[in-house]
């Protein structure tokens, strides 16, 4: 069995690899990478990052977004989500985005990986998993970047707080929120107060 065939034995469909991952199985990793890309076994995702596409009845399946980002950052310490998730909250946002947000501690800027655009934003703090409470806080954090008018969105955000875990919402606001988000949510003590705050004067 050739060295290239031995390397191929370690590859698994749907996985994303860094050059360093493959170097442990190859005595000529750069030459082997060129051959694997040329014969279509691997797809170059970005500098030093390669995907082994999974074959389906509809053709090649794109690598999982989480795997692309993990290989690119060389870390699992990130939060990945679509800003389209804001729309599902019901705060009146409707704009559609063709990029994914990556909160992380290593990279900043927009990068294309596997044909997808990722907006990497360096943050000192972010949760490990998405929640409706965090998304609402993050929506308020970024309301000035949205296409919609700010006041109606903020009014709806305040109303939405009545249907959420207020304690968890306030914890998210204190840890991850902007000054605006902290101010909006921190003074609310109960759902009756939220509803009163939302009612028009």
Summarize pLDDT for 156-199 with one digit per residue, the tens. 998 898 888 899 999 999 999 999 999 988 877 654 454 554 44
In the structure, how many helices (H) and strands (E) does the chain have? 9, 9
Residue with the two structure tokens 């606001």 = 173
Q: How far apart are CA 166 and CA 26, in angstroms?
A: 54
Residues 107-155 pLDDT 10s? 999 999 988 999 999 999 999 999 999 999 999 999 988 888 889 998 9
**Backbone torsion region of residue 16, taken as left when φ is above 0, otherwise alpha when ψ lies between -120 and 50, otherwise beta:** beta
User: Where exactly does CATH 1.10.10 map onto the chain?
Assistant: 3-63
Residue 76's pLDDT is 95
Distance between CA 193 and CA 21 in Å, rounded? 55
Q: Please give the radius of gyration of the chain, using alpha carbons only, rounded to the nearest integer.
A: 22
Which helix or strand (DSSP H or E) is residue 145 part of?
A: none
Helices 179-186 and 150-160: angle between axes, nearest 10 degrees: 40
pLDDT at 60: 79
Distance CA 102, CA 65 (A): 10
43 - beta bridge partners? Answer: 51
pLDDT of residue 36: 94
Within 10 angstroms of residue 149's Cβ, the number of other Cβ atoms is 10
Apex 78 CA angle, 72 and 80, nearest 5 = 90
Q: What is the pLDDT of residue 200?
A: 47
CA distance 197 to 77: 37
Could you report how far apart the first and last alpha carbons of the chain are, in Å? Answer: 79
Chain centroid to Cα 152, Å, comes to 26
Topology (CATH) of 3-63: Arc Repressor Mutant, subunit A (1.10.10)
In order of 38, 69, 132, 187, the CA distances from 82 in angstroms are 33, 13, 13, 29
């Amino acid at each position: 069995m050739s060295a290239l065939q031995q390397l191929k034995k370690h590859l698994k469909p749907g996985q994303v690899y860094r050059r360093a991952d493959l170097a442990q199985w190859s005595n000529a990793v750069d030459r082997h990478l060129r051959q694997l890309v040329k014969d279509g076994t691997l797809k170059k995702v970005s500098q030093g990052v390669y995907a082994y596409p999974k074959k389906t009845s509809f053709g090649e399946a794109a690598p999982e977004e989480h795997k692309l980002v993990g290989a690119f950052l060389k870390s699992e310490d990130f939060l990945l989500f679509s800003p389209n998730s804001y729309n599902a909250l019901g705060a009146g946002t409707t704009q559609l985005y063709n990029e994914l947000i990556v909160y992380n501690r290593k990279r900043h800027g927009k990068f294309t990986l596997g044909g997808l655009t990722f907006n990497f934003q360096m943050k000192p703090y972010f949760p490990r998993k998405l929640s409706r409470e965090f998304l609402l806080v993050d929506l308020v954090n970024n309301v000035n970047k949205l296409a919609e008018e700010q006041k109606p969105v903020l009014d709806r955000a305040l109303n939405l707080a009545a249907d959420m875990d207020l304690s968890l919402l306030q914890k998210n606001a204190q840890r991850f929120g902007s000054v605006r988000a902290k101010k909006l949510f921190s003074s609310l003590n109960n759902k009756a107060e939220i509803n009163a705050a939302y009612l028009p004067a």
